[in-house]
Amino acid sequence: MPTPRKNGSKPARVEVKAPSRSQNFETQPAKGKLGVMIPGMGAVATTFVAGVEAVRKGIAAPIGSLTQMGTVRLGKRTDGRSPKIKEFVSLSTLNDLVFTGWDIFEDDMYAAASKAGVLEKDLLTQVKGRLSSIKPMKAVFDHNYVKKIDGPNVKKGKNKMELAEQLRQDMRDFKKSSGASRLVTIWCASTETFIEPSAAHQSVKALEKGMKENDENIAPSMVYAYASLKEGVPFANGAPNLTVDVPAMLELARENEVPICGKDFKTGQTMMKTVLAPAFKARLLGLSGWYSTNILGNRDGEVLDDPGSFKTKEESKLGALEHILQPQLYPELYGNMYHKVRINYYPPRGDNKEGWDNIDIFGWLGYPMQIKVDFLCRDSILAAPIVLDLVLFLDLAQRTPELRRLGIQEWLSFYFKSPMTAPGLYPEHDLFIQLMKLKNTLRYLKGEELITHLGLEYYD
C-alpha cells in the first residue's frame, strides 16, 4: 500500500500510460546556449561553475558527473554496447552553458568562491576571468525564512507577485543578453524554515491570490519556482524546502509542460544510507537503531543552526530509511528501529563536513552487531556534479514532449534525499534502483530494450 505523502497534499492522482519499449521519442536537438540560473551563489554554486570552467579549460576532470563520465549498457551483455550517456542522448555540452544567479550578498562568483574556501587559490586563479564576470542579481529574500543570515542585495516590491514579476524580467533579460536559447533554474540557496502545506498551496489560483496578499506561507523559494514555471523554465530544488512539492506547483508545471524535480541534493551521509540500507534489506538483517550526526562549518551549517531550518533538513534526511526498509512489510526486522539525525555548526570545519554514523544491526538468531561510518567528505565537491547533471537532464526533459508534460521528473530521484513523486506514490530511495530508473528512462527515450538483469537468455 502506498505511504501517504508527509506534506499532506492530496491533489488528484494522475494516471500515466507507460510508453512502448519500441517507441523512439522525439527529442528536440540541443541547439544553442543553455542558460543556467542559480538562486544562491554560495559554496555549491561557485564550486559548480568553477568546476565547469576548469573542465572546459582542460585542467580538471568532471569526476562524479554521470552525464560526463557515465555509460549506459544497451542490449545483451554479449553485445558489448555501452556508449557514454552524453553520446547516447542529446545533451548540451559544457561549452553551451552560460551562467547567472541571484544572491543577498553582492560578491561576484570569484569573490564568493574565495570566501567559501572550497577550491584552492591556484585553481580559482585559472578561472578567475569567467567567475569575476558573473555578478549576482538582487535576490528575493525574507529573513523570517532564513534567520541566521542577512544581506543587502535584496529586491523590493509591494507584494510577492510583484517580486515574481521582477524575477521573470531578470530571466528574460538574461536570456537576451547571454544569447541563450533555453534556460534552467536550480536552487542552490539556503534551507528555509519548516512549513506545512496551507490553503495558499492548493491551487494556482490560491497561490497567486496569496502572493498578491503577501501570504506568509509562500516562501521565497516558491516565488522563484513560480516565476520559472510561468516563464516555461525547468526548476530543480536542491534544498529540502517545500517549494515545488505542493499541488499548486504541480498544477502549474503540468499546465505549462515544464519539468520539475527535487528535493535536497543527495551528497554525503544520506548517500551512504541509500547504499547501506538496501544491503541490510537484501540480506534481511535487522536494524535496531541508526544515529547520525554531522559537523559542518560553511554557510549551510550556519543556516541549519536555526531550529526552523534544521527541522526542514531533518524531515528530508529521516525519510530514506523508512521507505527503503519498509517496516510495514518486515516488522520483525525494522518495526522498532530508532533513527536520529543531528547537524552541528562548527565553523573551523568549513565546507569539509564530517558525517558520523553509528548503526546497530542484528542477524541470525537475533545476535547484535555494529557498523561505524565516519565520512570526512567535501559537501560542495559532492554537490557540484549533481548540479551539472540536473541542469543537463532537465534541459533534455524540456526538449522531450513525453517527459516535460509529466511535470515531476521522478527518474531524477537518484540525485535527491527526498525525491518528488506523483501524489499518493511513495518515493524510491534505494540508490541502485534509482540509477536503474534513470538509465531505463534514457533507454525508453531512444527505443532501446529495458535492462531487467534476468539473464536466463544466456543459458538457453
- pLDDT exceeds 80 at position 367: yes
- Model pLDDT for residues 260-300, shown as the tens digit of each residue: 999 999 998 999 999 999 999 999 999 999 999 998 887 77
Is the model's pTM score more than 0.85? Answer: yes
- Model pLDDT for residues 11-69, shown as the tens digit of each residue: 444 444 444 444 557 899 999 999 999 999 999 999 999 999 999 999 999 999 999 99
CA distance 189 to 96: 24
Q: What is the pLDDT of residue 310?
A: 76
Cα distances from 122 to residues 54, 59, 126, 128, 181, in angstroms, run 11, 11, 7, 10, 33
- Model pLDDT for residues 217-271, shown as the tens digit of each residue: 999 999 999 999 999 999 999 999 999 999 999 999 999 999 999 999 999 899 9
Q: What is the pLDDT of residue 411?
A: 98
- Model pLDDT for residues 145-200, shown as the tens digit of each residue: 998 888 999 999 999 999 999 999 999 999 999 999 999 999 999 889 999 999 99
Q: Cell match 532537465: residue?
A: 394
pLDDT bin (cut points 50, 70, 90) of residue 316 is low
